[in-house]
Amino acid sequence: MDWNGKSVLITGAGGFVGSHLTEKLVETGARVRAFVRYNSRSDWGMLRLLPKHKLNEIEVFAGDLRDSQAIRRASQTAGIVFHLGSLIAIPYSYVHPRDTIETNVIGALNVMSAARETGVERIIHTSTSEVYGTALYVPMDEKHPLQGQSPYSASKIGADMVAESYHRSFGLPVSVIRPFNTFGPRQSARAVIPTIIIQALAAAPNISLGSVFPTRDYTYVDDLVSAFIKIAESGDSIGEVINIGSGFETSIGDIAKKVLSILGIDKPIIIEDKRVRPTKSEVERLCCDNTKARRLLGWEPVINLETGLHKTIKWISENIDLYKADLYNI
């Protein structure tokens, strides 16, 4: 696909992954409209960290995913839509389940409806490995049962089904990308890897975490961005759900030890009750089967966990003022 001059809409463009995808597509020459959640401070999230010459190439559109009119306006003229926008924090979904479900499910409905009305070429809907819940078998392929173990995961299951239904009912050219855990520069402290790094760098006497035994499958953000673009370019991905992950699992406790080792810091790791998920809600194990991504897209991860951690630690170290080390982010 020739991206030069291609009209693209990215919802959730101000987020961690969205800002990286936005930056990459600007580099390809695409005409990018970035949909960000409105606030009175005109805060564009992580987009503000892009180099000025790239930011000047982006049309920023502020609104709310729950506002169908705003989504329709933002979707006008878009040839390709990347729908990343959602409320993604699991602890927040325990406190505000309605906000999470309305934003994620109604937001997906609005995006799919607008895409149908405007006749987009392609729409890539973003899922999450959290929809699988704790692994019933590993590695986890796209046929793994879905389990709503948190209001967040339930909301994403609902959003995924909306996307699937619009493909089956109306022939909407939807692909569903299902990333396992992603990490890298610009990620917020509500995610575990930045949380560990920030506490390691701060004056805190220890690293406070929730459960340290669950395993996760980590993908560096540049590899995920590559997968987004490959899915958009592949006709074979239409109507498909595609897992994106490394195929390797690492416990949260081992990630903390790796970070401390890279930094040459010795701090105790403690379990803090307020960070622990409810017992039946904790996802104990995630490990991706990325066979389908390799077969349909020719995609595979390039940056391994160790290299990605070094890159992430370097970026957070240079931007530590963006974080509040003493605050537990939900």
Q: Mean pLDDT for the chain?
A: 97
With a cut of 90, say whether residue 290 has pLDDT above it: yes
**Residue pair 16/187 in contact by the 8 Å Cβ criterion:** yes
> Which of the residue ranges 198-207, 208-217, 256-265 would you say has the lowest mean pLDDT?
198-207
Q: What is the Cβ-side half-sphere exposure of residue 52, based on CA atoms within 13 angstroms?
A: 0
Amino acid identity, residue 247? G
pLDDT of residue 203: 84
- The CB density around residue 218, as the number of other CB atoms within 10 Å, is 25
Q: What are 148's two structure tokens? A: 């709503």
What are the sequence ranges of the domains in the chain? 7-182+220-247+287-303
Over range 254-282, report the average pLDDT. 95
What is residue 107's three-state secondary structure? helix
pLDDT of residue 168: 98
pLDDT tier at 330, thresholds 50, 70, 90 = confident
Burial class (CB in 10 A: 0-12, 13-18, 19+), 248: middle
What is residue 250's three-state secondary structure? strand
With a cut of 90, say whether residue 312 has pLDDT above it: yes
**Residue pair 46/19 in contact by the 8 Å Cβ criterion:** yes
pLDDT of residue 309: 98
**Residue pair 267/206 in contact by the 8 Å Cβ criterion:** yes
Provide the residue count of the chain.
Answer: 330
Dihedral sign for Cα atoms in the order 54, 60, 64, 70: negative
With a cut of 80, say whether residue 326 has pLDDT above it: no
User: What's the distance, Cα to Cα, between the start and end of the chain in Å?
Assistant: 39
* pLDDT tens-place string over residues 131-169: 999 999 999 999 999 999 999 999 999 999 999 999 999
pTM value is 0.97
Q: How far is CA 218 from CA 19, 130, 301, 307, 309, in A?
A: 19, 13, 10, 12, 10
**Residue pair 163/108 in contact by the 8 Å Cβ criterion:** yes
What span, in angstroms and rounded, lies between the C-alpha atoms of 281 and 249?
19
* pLDDT tens-place string over residues 21-48: 999 999 999 999 999 999 989 899 999 9
CATH 3.40.50.2020 fits 7-182+220-247+287-303, yes or no: no
With a cut of 90, say whether residue 175 has pLDDT above it: yes
**Residue pair 249/217 in contact by the 8 Å Cβ criterion:** yes
Give backbone dihedrals phi and psi of 30, rounded to 5 degrees, phi first: -70, 150
- The CB density around residue 139, as the number of other CB atoms within 10 Å, is 18
With a cut of 80, say whether residue 227 has pLDDT above it: yes
pLDDT of residue 59: 98
